Structure 1
Amino acid sequence: MADADKLKDRMTDVFISLYDGGGPGKVPPLAALALYDDYRDLTPPGPRGDAMIQSLADRLVQIDLLDRAADLLTYQIDQRLSGVEKAKVGARLAVVQLLDRRPNDAVIAIDRSDVPNLPPELQQERRRLKARAYMEAGQPDRGLSVIEGDISRDGELLRAQLFSRAQNWVEAAAALTRLAGSPSDRTMTPEREGLIINLAIATALSGEPGMVSRLRADFEPLMRTTGSASAFELLTGSTRPAGSIDQTALAQRFTELDIFQRAMADYRQKVQQGQLSAIN
């Protein structure tokens, strides 16, 4: 019996070495997955085995096998993990589902990995992922309720995007106004320029002439010397003919903003670099 236990321990060590950094470079991801499928009973309990599974999931998302990575992470949250680690892996699973264009499954991933007494930062990230999933599922109002009270910069950016999906341009403009800062602040960066020009888009789409006039009075002097000066003038100028702006095109431009897509772009970059397990 002792010899059998030693042999099993040796086999487990060899198995783990394929995934812990000593072997992955030598074993292609598909071969590593096939070995895992055949010998998963050798996966040890506890953190060592959990790290092995996450390493394999990292490699699978790197080659765009998102569905198989999702299967591994789902197994972890359902069978192996508890507490904070379960919530962290649930968030990673939600990212994979979002990248795989499965927003409803992303919501389920967050819900099924929910545990009490999470650190505030992790809780906030999970809420934003859930709100983003609701947005991609065509339920922006539910997404807004999830991030209610999140007044951080990332929360306001997501709120503006959610309001735009709900075609509530007045509230989208309100969120962007808070992000754009005071007109008395003369500092201009490319990011702030983008915020202001897209605040102008939301304001133009709001159908509220008074909002357009106030925006122009506040920011025209600041925008005059930027590369977006002509766009700002077109959106807010008093000489613009009624109906001269294609509202459908404006709405599309709003939803494609780099500032709104940055969060998922960051996630995708980490995934492509094999850093899924480092997301949170």
Structure 2
Amino acid sequence: MRRVLILALLASTAAAPPNEPVEQPHADTHAAPAAPAEPAAEALPAGPPALPPFAATLAQMPTITSSRDWPELSDEEAWAGLINATPDTRQLARWRYAGSLIRRGMGAEALGVLETMVADDEDLALVAPFQLATGAALTMVGHDRAAVEALSLPELEGNAEACAWRLRALAALGDEISAARQVNCAVPAINGRDPQARKPFTLAAARGAIAAGQTTPVFAWLKLFGEQDPAANLLRGRALLASGDPAAGLFRLSRAELSGSPQIKAEAELARIQGDVKLHRIAPAEAIKRLEALRYGWRGGPVEKGALQLEYALATELKDRRTALRSAATLFRYFQPGTESAAMLMQIRTWLAEMLAPDSGTPLPEAAGLYWDYKELAPAGAEGDALAMRLADRLEAAGLYPRAAELLQYQVTQRRQDVAQGPLSVRVATLFILSGNPVRALDTLHATEQASYSDLMRFDRKRVEAVALYKLGREAAAMAALDGIPGAAGVRSEMHWRTHDWGSFVTENEASLPAANALNAPNQAIVMRHAVALAMLGREDKLQALRARYGGAFKLLPSAQAFDLLTQPARTIDPARISGAMAAIPAASPTGAIGDLLDAPTG
């Protein structure tokens, strides 16, 4: 109920004056009946008046540099200010109310007021005090990353109050090194708070100092907390371990685990493992097992991130690439690794390239699984294409066309509008056809269409598109796709041969007939197929012309007898011998790879 009242008071509303009654004339009993009046248009209610800009006014107000600078208002004073505010003073009343909420630690309520303010004046987002208030409210509600962004204005860089909130947000994010850099700036604002309000900032400062290896002041800071406080005992334990007192450090961690929240217990366990590793109390392999057990029971936040970072370091030390890859992949997927990310990514890519190399000894199924599990960590650009292509070649050679297609499909999508999509898309579409899925082939080609391809690339894509359409039974569409494509006559004739469309075959194949002195295996197939089609059509004249043109050249070839039978006059043909002659036609398709695609099963 209270929140509803607050929102109602915050709203920019103004009561519209009631409509004045219109005096009606006295009725005239002798007058003619009046014509029915047109229905009056209903007046729309007036919207709230626009508020005057407040951003410049706020920017000119005294700077907030400590917790004492936030307004101090009771609920009654805040509500009275909102109720009595005019449009000219409403934003100031809101600002004072938001500041009083921040002072009292009511972050969610303050954030609601600030959002209402900026909705009426977008320029407030450019004003340092407003961003300071927003960052403080966001930190209190746990939106730490957004808080750090809000507090990143250059004007807030040396502001003690901003440094204090930035310190707290960074520590909550697990970026303790960055938090440590804020401590000196934040000290005046932290010390200016009463002891109870100082606690979360002091804990954040202690985290930063421990991470930076400056443990001396930590013990003094933590005197603010009782000896039974689990959060303080956790940090005391970490500081003692870092300063070289493992027995006392582990004892403090045990006390934190005994009475702390689940998060404190998880963090204490991580600190214990880190201490044991640093002191060489456990072997790296045992530490990895304990880290995996910890991550099994605790997901997310700085605890899991720290566990993954230590796990990666230990696996690297053991040269356990698979564990290191798994840890690094989780870090990159769900966290921001930090300053070490560039070196980590370079190491991962080197390992992947070595493990996926054809001579690595990694079994093909295992290599494909490795690539698929960590594909987003693989090299980008031409290096990544080469890595994926080598693995796809191995999968294709093993007849694993669907796996090869899916592998390269991911590579295509990463290319977005890069011209390298062209050759990759042709390869992927080809693999989908070979795997019996021409629909996916067409989808790939259509999804990667762009105007920047060269003519040669467009021709390659159209040939594969025509094959996919033909495999789907859309012969007319396939023929249309080949319009204007160089060398399309050979592809068309291949399709007509398979459908026994002898007339169309002869028309297309005529242009492909080779010279008599160039009868390699594919060219022999072209000539002998032409002979079959002519015989089927009963074109005796052209059949004999073909015999005269190529007879001498065929005499020197193993297929001479078959050619002789196929080109004999129709009345002398023995059907049984003709069947044998057709079987002797060279298997090499005149269209090369296109013929292999046309031979692929569908479905």
Report TM bin, short chain.
0.7 to 0.9
Farther off after superposition, 139-148 or 23-32: 23-32
Query: Match for residue 105 of structure 1?
Result: 440
The residue type paired with residue 593 of structure 2 is A
Equivalent position to 2:353, from 20, 40, 48: 20
Normalised to the residue count of structure 2, the TM-score between the two structures is: 0.38
Q: Among 526, 531, 541, which residue is 1:195 paired with?
A: 526
Aligned with 2:465 (options 123, 127, 130)? 130
The equivalent position to 2:511 in structure 1, one of 172, 178, 185, is 178
State the AA in 2 paired with 1:65: L
| Amino acid corresponding to residue 348 of structure 2 in structure 1 | F
Match of 1:274 in 2: none
Mean Cα displacement is larger for which, 99-108 or 185-194?
185-194
1:88 aligns to 2:423 (yes or no): yes
Which one scores higher on RCO, CA 8 angstroms, separation ≥ 6?
1
Paired position in structure 1 for 2:377: 42
Instruction: Could you tell me which runs of 5 or more consecutive residues in structure 2 were left unpaired when the two chains were aligned.
Output: 1-174, 178-308, 310-336, 598-603
CA shift at 1:178, angstroms? 1.5
Aligned-pair CA distance for 1:110: 1.6
* Alignment-derived partner of residue 496 in structure 2: 163
Instruction: For residues 70-102 of structure 1, give each alpha carbon's deviation from its aligned partner in whole angstroms, at most 9, with x where no partner exists.
Output: 223222333443232112211110121122122
Report the Cα distance in structure 2 between the residues aligned to 1:42 and 1:188, rounded to whole angstroms.
Answer: 51
- Give the alignment partner of residue 232 of structure 1, picking from 547, 558, 563: 563
Q: Does the CA-based 8 Å contact 2:531-2:546 persist in structure 1?
A: yes
Tell whether the 8 Å contact from 2:494 to 2:595 is kept in structure 1 after alignment: no
Of 82-91 and 166-175, the range deviating more from structure 2 = 166-175
**Per-residue displacement from partner, 1:81-133 (whole Å, max 9, x unpaired)?**
32321122111101211221222322222222211131111111111111222
1:145 alignment partner in structure 2: 480
**Which of residues 577, 588, 593 is equivalent to 1:263?**
593
SS at match of 2:353: coil
Shift of 1:29: 3.4
8 Å CA contact 2:589, 2:595 repeated in 1: no
Runs of 4+ in structure 1 off by over 6 angstroms are 245-254
2:396 is aligned, of 57, 61, 74, to 61
The 10-residue stretch of structure 1 (170-179 or 39-48) with the greater mean CA deviation from structure 2: 39-48
Change (3 A) 1:251 1:95: farther
Q: Distance in 2 between matches of 1:164 and 1:85?
A: 34
Q: CA-atom RMSD, angstroms?
A: 3.5
**Counterpart-to-counterpart distance in 2, 1:92 and 1:218:** 39
Contact 1:200/1:236 (8 A) holds in 2: yes
Q: Are the structure 2 counterparts of residues 219 and 36 from structure 1 closer, same or farther at C-alpha, using a change threshold of 3 Å?
A: closer
1:95–1:129 Cα contact (<8 Å) kept: yes
Stretch of structure 1 that moved more, 4-13 or 197-206 = 4-13
Q: What SS is found at the alignment partner of 1:175?
A: helix
User: Once structures 1 and 2 are overlaid, which stretch shifts more, 158-167 or 1-10?
Assistant: 1-10
C-alpha displacement at 1:8, in angstroms? 2.4
2: distance between equivalents of 1:35 and 1:238?
63
Pick from 446, 452, 456 the counterpart of residue 121 of structure 1. Answer: 456
Question: Could you tell me how far apart the structure 2 residues matched to 1:226 and 1:34 are?
Answer: 49
Among 77, 81, 98, which residue is 2:412 paired with?
77
Deviations 1:224-246 (A, max 9, x none): 55433332332222253578379
Given that 2:496 and 2:502 are in contact with CA atoms closer than 8 Å, whether structure 1 keeps it comes out as yes
List alignment gaps of at least 5 residues for structure 1.
268-280
- Give distance in 2, aligned partners of 1:88 and 1:190: 29
Does the Cα contact within 8 Å between 1:91 and 1:126 map onto a contact in 2? yes
In structure 2, C-alpha distance between the alignment counterparts of 1:144 and 1:223, rounded to whole Å: 32
1:129-163 deviations in whole A, cap 9, x for unaligned? 112222333333322211122343xx332121112
For 1:20 and 1:243, the matched residues in 2 are separated by 61
Pick from 533, 543, 546: which aligns with 1:212? 543
Letter in 2 for 1:150: I
Whole-angstrom CA distance in 1 between matches of 2:506 and 2:581: 14
Identity %: 23
Q: Quick one: distance in 2 between partners of 1:37 and 1:223?
A: 52
Supply the distance in 2 between the matched residues of 1:253 and 1:123 (Cα, whole angstroms). Answer: 36
**Structure 2 Cα separation of the partners of residues 32 and 39 of structure 1:** 11
Report the number of matched residues: 261
CA distance in 1, matches of 2:396, 2:443: 19
Deviation at 1:18, TM superposition (A): 3.4
Correspondence for 1:32 among 355, 367, 392: 367
Q: Distance in 1 between matches of 2:570 and 2:596?
A: 40
- CA distance in 2 between partners of 1:76 and 1:54 (Å): 9
Letter in 1 for 2:567: T
CA shift at 1:247, angstroms? 9.2
Distance 1:231 1:253, change over 3 A: closer
Question: How far apart in 2 are the matches of 1:265 and 1:186?
Answer: 23
